[in-house]
């Protein structure tokens, strides 16, 4: 090796750095000194220092590939401390020939052709660690321009390469997630990628069962059947915060499966979903001989993260899929799945020549539970009911929840009679007491049942038939089972067309009010009028409330009808007053649906203000059974009405079982004895005793009392003798049209020959 430099600017044959002690004094000196250090040796020192401080690898080799010069990076990289130990040796002295041969070929080509070779990526090693170098090679020429070797400059791009590889892997994994690759395929790929980052590792991926915490093997591409068998046979429960026990258990499985002679370790990483919930485990088996590629541990972190995303997505998709077909509260099939199952059951029945029974089950008074005990109790009740039904049909049928408290049961290969025993058992099971929030509940249900093929040829028709039968069970007093009959269809059709007519009736102003006088028996004077609605039906003539109020109540039409009645009645009462007739109280019935309507107070206030009627002349009749349905809110509502200044009467008193203590809390002015108690007077001693007791109760509570449905003088006599002076009934007058009532008021107290009784 020659020391010195060429004057023509050609690259000098370098001086091995190790042969010259670094000029530490110069290193510390500012650039000022450099300009004054004109001598060549000084410059050369500077150059060497510079070259040695560059982290890239710089070297020159002769035509035989022997090192002539190299900077310290090359020296250290080859595991040496001094340049002199490197000079004269070749790459073959340090690395396996299959690795260095390619580089040697390139260098020879550069030397032979004089063509520089720019920027090739080559695999290299430091010890047993794989690295990537970006190498540029140019010919080394002497002073005469003759090629005497090669100069190489290379940069370690291992980190960059492994970052690129991680990025590529990550993109590939994300793409698989986006494409909706099945979870097992995704995790298989992931495990393979991890294994591709190191020689001698095995990866296994597990999900954790949400209910038990048990591991479930999903992917372990390089592990054998024996491993799978052992893993599946061993219940490995996981504590996500401490995976040491899990790792120990998985190592045992690995050893049992006899996968390798070497002693392997198992390292577990928790796989968390996007919310941080641990959903799975990655197990990596490695041994002392494992050779890791750069970026292995970084890739494992990425893999765990990607697995978390994939598992989250898989679970979300599974949940969405489940919700598309199931009711989220009870986990039972929903309407869509019911339709499919029912259609399938029908097809099976066709092929076997058998029948399918379909039962529609609706809880009785569920709304009451929800309203009075809250929705969470209602939800619990529904879940319990679903569980109880399921237990009884598991072998032969399926259950769906298709609405609030509506369940449908498919019972295959059974006719109507064959299923009745089972349905009774279901009814009994539903009615068993349920303890919820320290309350014991009993829920009864009404069941309607229809049979395929006789009661419907399609799923929709069969369901409609079972629904109709269920309504029949409700009408029959609830807590029962009704079988579909074809007449039910006709009834329902009638009901539907009646409902439509009712809706039209309001728009066409077909309702009218009749008024029935309430009389003071002692004076013979009319003291009040009950407004009673009638429907002037275009085809049927006058229709009485008994034929449409219940339907109006069921369909909600009662609310606008009731509003109309209130307005009309108030206006009429005011009109009579304005005519100079003796003022009387106007009594208006308020139905259950109306009473529960939020805007009732507003409706009453509007009717009063629009008519100009003084509130004291308006009395609202509320049935006792309605008040007792939800005592607390009824009392609150009654107080709101009382605030408006109107009077309140309890209609049908005696039928609703009010307790005395409850009665004292009602802001009432009047009790109206139900006409069922009056009808059999004077023949029924019990009714007479009850009537007398109600009158005396009213007196004690300082309430007015009136008897309705009084048809005979005997009844009136008995009432007066018992202390009730006000009566309403055919004895005095039937309900009459407005004009007729007008006349009665004009002759008030003078004409009617009621007295003497
Ligand atoms: N057997 C017999 N019956 C008598 C006698 N005196 C009166 N009645 C009848 O008894 C009913 C009294 O009305 P209610 O108990 O409030 O019972 C009413 C009431 O609950 C309801 N209703 C009537 N009009 C309305 C209304 O505008 N709104 C609401 N929500 N319900 C109404 O319809 C029910 C029936 O009304 P109507 O058919 O008008 O029947 C009326 C009346 O005609 C009698 O001496 N003997």
Ligand 1 mean position, distance from CA 169 (Å): 82
What residues have CB less than 8 Å from 48, skipping those under 6 apart?
15, 17, 20, 22
Residue predicted with more confidence, 496 or 447: 447
Tokens of 27: 């290193």
User: Is the separation of the CB atoms in 411 and 395 below 8 Å?
Assistant: no
- Give the structural domain span for 350: 333-484
Residue 358: left if φ>0, alpha if ψ -120 to 50, beta else—which one?
beta
Ligand 1 mean position, distance from CA 572 (Å): 19
493 in any annotated domain: no
Check which CATH number belongs to the domain holding 85 and give it: 3.30.450.20
Mean pLDDT of 319-328: 92
Give the start-end residues of each E strand in 442-567: 445-452, 481-483, 511-520, 525-537, 541-543
Final residue in a domain of this structure, among 323, 350, 367: 323
Q: What is the pLDDT of residues 359-370, one digit of tens each?
A: 999 999 898 888
Query: For residues 179 and 317, what is the distance between their CA atoms, to the nearest angstrom?
Result: 13
Ligand 1 mean position, distance from CA 649 (Å): 14
Pairing assessment for the beta strands 670-673 and 647-653 based on DSSP bridges: parallel
What residues have CB less than 8 Å from 576, skipping those under 6 apart?
583, 584, 742, 745
Ligand 1 mean position, distance from CA 229 (Å): 79
pLDDT for the residue numbered 749 = 64
Mean pLDDT of 446-462: 96
Mutate to test the pocket of ligand 1, among 515, 532, 741 (most ligand atoms within 8 A of CB): 532
H or E element, residue 635: helix 631-643
406 in any annotated domain: yes
Query: For residues 426 and 407, what is the distance between their CA atoms, to the nearest angstrom?
Result: 12
Query: For residues 117 and 445, what is the distance between their CA atoms, to the nearest angstrom?
Result: 89
Residue predicted with more confidence, 618 or 275: 618
Q: Give SS3 for 580.
A: coil
708 Cα nearest atom in ligand 1: 6
Tell whether 291 and 367 lie within a shared domain. Answer: no
What is the percent of the chain where pLDDT is above 90?
66
516 Cα nearest atom in ligand 1: 7
Smallest Cα–Cα separation from 14: which of 155, 156, 152? 152
Among the residue ranges 195-209, 222-236, 268-282, 654-668, the one predicted with the least confidence is 654-668
Residue 43: left if φ>0, alpha if ψ -120 to 50, beta else—which one?
alpha
Sign, Cα dihedral of 645, 650, 656, 658: positive
Mean pLDDT of 632-659: 85
Mutate to test the pocket of ligand 1, among 542, 544, 545, 673 (most ligand atoms within 8 A of CB): 545
Tell whether 449 and 586 lie within a shared domain. Answer: no
Check which CATH number belongs to the domain holding 641 and give it: 3.20.20.450
Residue with CA closest to ligand 1 atom 10: 709
Tell whether 395 and 516 lie within a shared domain. Answer: no
Where are the alpha helices (H) located in 326-404, listed in sequence order? 335-352, 366-373, 375-393
pTM metric for this prediction:
0.57
730 Cα nearest atom in ligand 1: 45
Ligand 1 mean position, distance from CA 534 (Å): 10
498 in any annotated domain: no
Residue predicted with more confidence, 239 or 417: 417
Ligand 1 mean position, distance from CA 689 (Å): 24
Residue 751 has pLDDT above 80, yes or no: no
Ligand 1 mean position, distance from CA 279 (Å): 67
Tell whether 536 and 684 lie within a shared domain. Answer: yes
Q: Give SS3 for 524.
A: coil
Ligand 1 mean position, distance from CA 335 (Å): 42
674 Cα nearest atom in ligand 1: 15
pLDDT band, residue 27 (cuts 50/70/90): very low
Residue with CA closest to ligand 1 atom 27: 533
Ligand 1 mean position, distance from CA 735 (Å): 9
Residue with CA closest to ligand 1 atom 3: 709
Mutate to test the pocket of ligand 1, among 543, 569, 589 (most ligand atoms within 8 A of CB): 589
Residue with CA closest to ligand 1 atom 1: 709
pLDDT band, residue 22 (cuts 50/70/90): very low
Residue 754 has pLDDT above 60, yes or no: no
Check which CATH number belongs to the domain holding 381 and give it: 3.30.70.270
Mutate to test the pocket of ligand 1, among 708, 712, 741 (most ligand atoms within 8 A of CB): 708
169 in any annotated domain: no
Query: For residues 622 and 592, what is the distance between their CA atoms, to the nearest angstrom?
Result: 8
Residue with CA closest to ligand 1 atom 2: 709
Ligand 1 mean position, distance from CA 676 (Å): 12
Tell whether 318 and 437 lie within a shared domain. Answer: no
pLDDT for the residue numbered 752 = 53
Check which CATH number belongs to the domain holding 240 and give it: 3.30.450.40
Cα 724 to Cα 18, 583, 692: the distances in Å are 130, 22, 9
User: Is the separation of the CB atoms in 31 and 128 below 8 Å?
Assistant: no
Residue with CA closest to ligand 1 atom 39: 532
Tokens of 60: 């020159």
168 in any annotated domain: no
Residue 204 has pLDDT above 60, yes or no: yes
pLDDT for the residue numbered 274 = 82
518 in any annotated domain: yes
34 in any annotated domain: no
Q: What is the pLDDT of residues 54-109, one digit of tens each?
A: 999 999 999 999 999 999 999 998 889 999 999 999 999 988 888 789 889 999 99
Size (the chain), residues: 757
Final residue in a domain of this structure, among 282, 302, 323: 323
pLDDT for the residue numbered 23 = 39
Q: Residue 653, class by beta-carbon neighbours within 10 Å (0-12 exposed, 13-18 middle, 19+ buried)?
A: buried
pLDDT for the residue numbered 626 = 80
Final residue in a domain of this structure, among 484, 517, 532: 484
Tell whether 193 and 149 lie within a shared domain. Answer: no
Ligand 1 mean position, distance from CA 739 (Å): 19
Ligand 1 mean position, distance from CA 569 (Å): 15
pLDDT band, residue 19 (cuts 50/70/90): very low
Query: For residues 494 and 498, what is the distance between their CA atoms, to the nearest angstrom?
Result: 6
Query: For residues 529 and 516, what is the distance between their CA atoms, to the nearest angstrom?
Result: 5
32 in any annotated domain: no
Q: What is the pLDDT of residues 709-741, one digit of tens each?
A: 999 999 999 999 999 989 999 999 999 999 999
Q: What is the pLDDT of residues 136-182, one digit of tens each?
A: 999 999 999 999 999 999 998 988 888 888 899 999 999 999 998 99
Tokens of 77: 């990289």
Where are the alpha helices (H) located in 432-485, listed in sequence order? 459-475
Tell whether 304 and 417 lie within a shared domain. Answer: no
Ligand 1 pocket residues where CB is under 6 Å? 516, 532-533, 544-546, 549, 562, 565, 589, 591, 621, 651, 675, 708-711, 728-730, 735
591 Cα nearest atom in ligand 1: 30
514 Cα nearest atom in ligand 1: 39
Cα 285 to Cα 270, 415, 568: the distances in Å are 15, 60, 87
Tell whether 239 and 136 lie within a shared domain. Answer: no
pLDDT for the residue numbered 451 = 97
Tell whether 298 and 344 lie within a shared domain. Answer: no
588 Cα nearest atom in ligand 1: 27
The per-type count for the chain, helices as H runs and strands as E runs, is: 28, 27
What residues have CB less than 8 Å from 696, skipping those under 6 apart?
722, 723
Tell whether 317 and 345 lie within a shared domain. Answer: no
What residues have CB less than 8 Å from 502, skipping those under 6 apart?
548, 551, 552, 555, 557, 561
pLDDT for the residue numbered 755 = 52
Ligand 1 mean position, distance from CA 532 (Å): 6
Q: What is the mean pLDDT of the chain?
A: 88
Tally of structural domains, the chain: 4
Tell whether 557 and 660 lie within a shared domain. Answer: yes
Tell whether 202 and 124 lie within a shared domain. Answer: no
Long-range CB pairs of 532-536 (<8 Å, 24+ gap) are 532/589, 532/735, 533/561, 533/565, 535/505, 535/510, 535/511, 536/510, 536/511, 536/512
Query: For residues 550 and 557, what is the distance between their CA atoms, to the nearest angstrom?
Result: 10
Ligand 1 mean position, distance from CA 506 (Å): 20
């Amino acid at each position: 090796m020659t020391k010195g430099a060429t004057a023509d600017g050609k690259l000098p044959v370098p001086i091995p750095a190790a042969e010259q002690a670094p000029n530490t004094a110069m290193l510390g000196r500012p650039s000022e000194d450099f300009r004054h250090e004109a001598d060549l040796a000084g410059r050369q020192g500077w150059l060497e220092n510079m070259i040695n401080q560059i982290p890239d690898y710089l070297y020159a080799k002769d035509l035989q590939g022997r090192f002539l010069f190299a900077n310290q990076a090359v020296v250290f990289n080859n595991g040496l401390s001094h340049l002199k130990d490197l000079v004269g040796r070749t790459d073959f002295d340090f690395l396996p020939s299959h690795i260095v041969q390619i580089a040697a070929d390139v260098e020879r080509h550069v030397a032979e052709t004089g063509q520089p070779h720019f920027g090739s990526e080559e695999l290299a090693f430091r010890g047993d660690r794989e690295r990537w170098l970006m190498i540029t090679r140019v010919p080394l020429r002497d002073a005469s321009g003759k090629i005497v070797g090669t100069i190489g400059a290379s940069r370690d791009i291992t980190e960059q390469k492994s970052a690129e590889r991680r990025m590529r892997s990550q993109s590939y994994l994300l793409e698989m997630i986006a494409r909706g690759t099945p979870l097992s395929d995704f995790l298989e790929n992931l495990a393979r990628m991890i294994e591709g980052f190191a020689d001698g590792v095995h990866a296994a991926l597990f999900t954790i069962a949400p209910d038990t915490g048990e591991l479930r093997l999903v992917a372990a591409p390089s592990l054998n059947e024996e491993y799978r068998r052992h893993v599946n046979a061993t219940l490995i429960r996981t504590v996500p915060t401490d995976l040491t026990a899990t790792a120990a258990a998985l190592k045992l499985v690995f050893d049992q499966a006899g996968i390798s002679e070497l002693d392997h370790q198992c390292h577990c990483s928790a796989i968390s979903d996007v919310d941080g919930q641990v959903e799975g485990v990655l197990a990596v088996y490695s041994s002392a001989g494992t050779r890791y590629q750069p970026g292995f541990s970084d890739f494992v972190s990425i893999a765990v993260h990607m697995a978390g995303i994939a598992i989250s997505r898989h679970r979300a998709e599974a949940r969405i899929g489940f919700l598309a077909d199931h009711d989220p509260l009870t986990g039972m099939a929903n309407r869509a799945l019911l339709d499919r199952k029912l259609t399938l059951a029908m097809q099976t029945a066709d092929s076997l020549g058998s029948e399918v029974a379909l039962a529609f089950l609706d809880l009785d008074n569920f709304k009451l539970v929800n309203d009075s005990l809250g929705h969470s109790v209602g939800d619990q009740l529904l879940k319990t009911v679903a569980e109880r039904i399921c237990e009884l049909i598991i072998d032969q049928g399926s259950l769906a929840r298709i609405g609030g408290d509506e369940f449908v049961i498919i019972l295959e290969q059974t006719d109507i009679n064959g299923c009745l025993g089972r349905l009774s058992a279901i009814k009994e099971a539903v009615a068993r007491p349920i303890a919820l929030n320290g309350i014991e509940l009993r829920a009864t249900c009404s069941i309607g049942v229809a049979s395929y093929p006789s009661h419907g040829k399609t799923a929709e028709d069969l369901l409609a038939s079972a629904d109709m039968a269920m309504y029949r069970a409700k009408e029959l007093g609830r807590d029962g089972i009704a079988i579909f009959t074809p007449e039910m269809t006709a009834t329902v059709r009638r009901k539907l067309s009646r409902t439509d007519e009712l809706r039209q009736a309001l728009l066409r102003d077909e309702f009218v009010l009749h008024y029935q006088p309430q009389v003071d028996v002692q004076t013979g004077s009319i003291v009040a009028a009950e407004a009673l609605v009638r429907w002037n039906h275009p085809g049927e003539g006058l229709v009485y409330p008994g034929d449409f109020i219940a339907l109006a109540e069921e369909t909600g039409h009662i609310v606008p009808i009731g509003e109309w009645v209130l307005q009309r009645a108030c206006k009429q009462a005011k009109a009579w007053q304005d005519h100079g007739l003796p003022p009387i109280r106007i009594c208006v019935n308020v139905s259950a649906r109306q009473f529960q309507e939020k805007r009732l107070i507003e409706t009453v206030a509007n009717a009063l203000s629009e008519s100009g009627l003084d509130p004291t002349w308006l009395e609202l009749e509320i049935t006792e059974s309605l008040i007792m349905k939800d005592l607390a809110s009824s009392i609150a509502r009654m107080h709101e009405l009382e605030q408006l200044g109107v009077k309140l009467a309890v209609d049908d008193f005696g039928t609703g079982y009010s307790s005395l203590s409850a009665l004292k809390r009602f802001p009432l002015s009047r009790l109206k004895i139900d006409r069922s108690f009056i009808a059999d007077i004077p023949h029924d001693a019990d009714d007479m005793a009850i009537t007398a007791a109600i009158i005396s109760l009213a007196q004690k509570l300082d309430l007015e009392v009136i008897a309705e449905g009084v048809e005979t003088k005997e009844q009136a006599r008995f009432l007066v003798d018992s202390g009730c002076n006000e009566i309403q009934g055919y004895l005095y007058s039937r309900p009459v049209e407005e004009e007729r009532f007008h006349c009665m008021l004009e002759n008030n107290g003078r004409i009617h020959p009621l007295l003497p009784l």
